[in-house]
Structure 1
Amino acid sequence: MGQRILLVDDEPGVLDGLRRQLASRYTVEAVLSGAEGLKKLDHSRGSSNPFAVVVSDMMMPEMDGAEFLGRAAVIAPDAVLMVLSGKADLRSTISAVNTGRLFRFIPKPCSPRDLQAAIDAALVHYRRSKSEGDLLEKTLAGSVKVLAQALAMASPETGARITTITELVGGAARRMGQSNSWELRMAARLSQLGLVSIPPDVLQRVEGGIEGSAGEKAMYRAHPSVARDLLAGVPKLERVAAWVGGQTVDATAPPPRSDPDPDSRVELQRQIFQVAAEFLAAKDIGEWPPECAARLAAGGRYRRDVVQAVLETALERDAAPDAQSVTINQLAVGMRFVRDVKATTGAILVRKGDRVTDAVRVRLQNFKTYVGVVEPLRVTQPKDTL
């Protein structure tokens, strides 16, 4: 399937001529207004073949090219944007360049050869940018995954929390059609990063429901902001840092104030993460998932369908279907423990709900060799992952 080109022009005759010139070389879609163009771009988001190049007229009624391209840059940040116009004043052109990441300005009239050459150049730029972006995203995702495994190895309690919120977010994202969101994956895996600032004994007391000092409670409640500050300077993680910093950690307190994102798809993803964090906080105080869902639905801060998606995931996760008994040597990456793993001394090595990773297997092998581990282990393979 060829990469898609979107043409936007309010003159039907011009639009038909452009479509005929380009249809033999590209997959072309054409619309008569900026509003229609934004709908097309929004509908293509998350698809396997989004629009690669957008070519817009400048002087259009209701929404001119500068406004359209500025909004298009938000909806389709990877698309290459160009202007094809015979009427454009200097101010509107500057606005289009500044707000729309304009790749090229093509004056009308333009020969088919020149137009095709401009689009070919835009496609080369698109492919190069996508390739570099995909490589950066994969590298970042791999680094975050290793960091999450290191946190789990250093603290089973933290690892269990990462596993829980990752599975809640993953299942809800699948149910809401958002499973391709890399930002959701990053937010879930990095959500507990701030716990590294809390002494292990304090963390165990707070998460275990043991009454701690006011200072210990304040330290725990601050862990999202600690994570946000750590992530704030990482390129491409600005939104993830904001989500992590705004997560709920105390189900007995009012949820943090956060303004809805104007981008409806991003706002949906933010709510999936925040509701999953609410369920994790509810687990700390022993609140049953349906009770948590009822409380959140009644509060009105979250979409009811998002709350329901997280609830269904939580209930499916806790059901632990097809549990089986295995030895440490039979553990496979991706399995999930359905009961705590203990050393023969009684110490808990891995919490119920943790997922098997390479780091967990190495840790258990070492304990089996030098201390002893109670076997068999009870595990299951969950359906939803991020």
Structure 2
Amino acid sequence: MAQRILLVDDEPGVLEGLRRTLATRYTVEAVLSGAEGLKKLELSRGGSNPFAVVVSDMVMPGMDGVEFLAQAAEIAPDAVLMVISGKVDMRSTIAAVNTGRLFRFIAKPCSPRDLHAAIDAALVQYQRSKAEGDLLEKTLTGAVKVLAQALAMASPETGSRTTTITELVAGAARLLGQSHSWELRMAARLSQLGLVSIPSDVLQRVEGGIEGSAGEKTMYRSHPLVARDLLADIPKLERVAAWVGGQTVDATAPPPKADPDPDPRTELQRQIFTVATEFLAAKDIGEWPPECAARLLVGGRYRPEVVQAVLKTAQERDAVPDAISVTINQLKVGARFVRDVKATTGAILVRKGDRVTEAIRVRLQNFKTYVGVVEPLRVTPPNETF
């Protein structure tokens, strides 16, 4: 797929000349103002083919190049930004470098050869930066996935809750066109991280609706803040940490104070995650998904389409198709347990609703060999996960 170049210049003749020069080798879009340029960047944001390079004039009416590039850097953090200008002002150039991550300054007039060379260099920089970012994202995602599986093996209760949140978030994200968000996946998988600080017997009592002490309730309600503090210092997870720290854990308590994101897209993702945690908290007190949805729609705290998307996912998740009986050796990754898996000692090894992972299969095999597991197991067929 050809990389896209965005040109911004307030002089129509100059803009058309630049467009013609570059259109022979690149996919080019040209606009006459910074405001139009920002709209173009917003429209391409999160898409499959965003702008790779942005080339802007410096002196423009209304919004100059400094202001445009500063905002462009926020909207399109991966794009490589350049200035092409015939009026060199040192102060404004320094400001553009400092606020807009300027890659190169090109003086007008510029020969086609030099312009092509500058764009080629910018595209190399874009590909290098994108490859490094993709590698970091995949590494981080893989590490978090392993951590979530390790937590599930250590605590079936934690694993069950993580699975519920992950699938509610995944279903709603697909319905609302947000499946591309790696931050949503991270938040879902890390949402129950703080539960490692709570003794298993306390967690079982709280989740089972058994009246515990005031100290136990306080301990349980603080687990999002424990997770937030653990995640806060990890690069690229600042927003994930904030979402996890603001999740709902008690449907009977006053709702947490909303901290909306000024960016409409990330605010939509934050709401998907938070509403999913509301549904999990409602499950703890025996509130049915439709009742939870009706409660959340009152007061306008959440967008109706988000509540409806999570509700639809919850109802589809609860609509268990024909289950089958299998042995541990027959388990397939992606299948869902429709009843708790227990050791012959009575200990719960995997909670109802959890999906089979490779780690869970290994754990059950080990328990079967050295302790004993009650078989057959009841599962549904494998299904795509988030």
Aligning the two structures, in what range does the TM-score lie when normalised by the shorter sequence?
Answer: over 0.9
Cα distance, 1:383 vs. partner? 4.7
Note the 1:116-265 alignment, pairs <5 A: 116-265=116-265
Note the 1:346-385 alignment, pairs <5 A: 346-381=346-381, 383=383, 385=385
Provide, for residues 238-292 of structure 1, a one-character-per-residue CA deviation record: whole Å limited to 9, x for no partner. 1111111111111111222232211111111111111111111111111111111
Q: Which moved more, 1:339-348 or 1:153-162?
A: 339-348
In the alignment, is the contact (CA less than 8 A) between 1:171 and 1:384 conserved in 2? Answer: no
Instruction: Name 1:61's counterpart in structure 2.
Output: 61
Query: Which letter maps to 1:218?
Result: T
TM-score, length of structure 2 as denominator length: 0.97
Q: Partners in 1 of 2:296 and 2:358 — Cα distance?
A: 36
Query: Which letter maps to 1:265?
Result: R
Cα distance, 1:108 vs. partner? 1.6
Aligned-residue RMSD, C-alpha: 1.4
In the alignment, is the contact (CA less than 8 A) between 1:170 and 1:384 conserved in 2? Answer: no
Q: Partners in 1 of 2:206 and 2:197 — Cα distance?
A: 14
Cα distance, 1:159 vs. partner? 0.2
Tell me if 1:98 matches 2:98: yes
Q: Which moved more, 1:97-106 or 1:141-150?
A: 97-106
Query: Which letter maps to 1:244?
Result: V
Determine helix, strand or coil for the equivalent of 1:118. Answer: helix
In the alignment, is the contact (CA less than 8 A) between 2:191 and 2:224 conserved in 1? Answer: yes
Report how many aligned residue pairs link the two structures.
386
Determine helix, strand or coil for the equivalent of 1:144. Answer: helix
Q: Partners in 2 of 1:336 and 1:70 — Cα distance?
A: 48
Instruction: Name 2:52's counterpart in structure 1.
Output: 52
Instruction: Name 1:337's counterpart in structure 2.
Output: 337
Cα distance, 1:382 vs. partner? 6.1
Cα distance, 1:103 vs. partner? 1.0
Q: Partners in 2 of 1:314 and 1:382 — Cα distance?
A: 17
Instruction: Name 2:37's counterpart in structure 1.
Output: 37
Provide, for residues 136-191 of structure 1, a one-character-per-residue CA deviation record: whole Å limited to 9, x for no partner. 11111110000000000000000000100000000000000010111111110011
Query: Which letter maps to 1:224?
Result: P
Determine helix, strand or coil for the equivalent of 1:120. Answer: helix
Q: Which moved more, 1:46-55 or 1:176-185?
A: 46-55
Instruction: Name 2:280's counterpart in structure 1.
Output: 280
Instruction: Name 1:323's counterpart in structure 2.
Output: 323
Determine helix, strand or coil for the equivalent of 1:115. Answer: helix
Determine helix, strand or coil for the equivalent of 2:132. Answer: helix
Q: Relative to 1, partners in 2 of residues 1:61 and 1:382: Cα closer, same or farther, differing over 3 Å?
A: farther
Cα distance, 1:66 vs. partner? 1.6
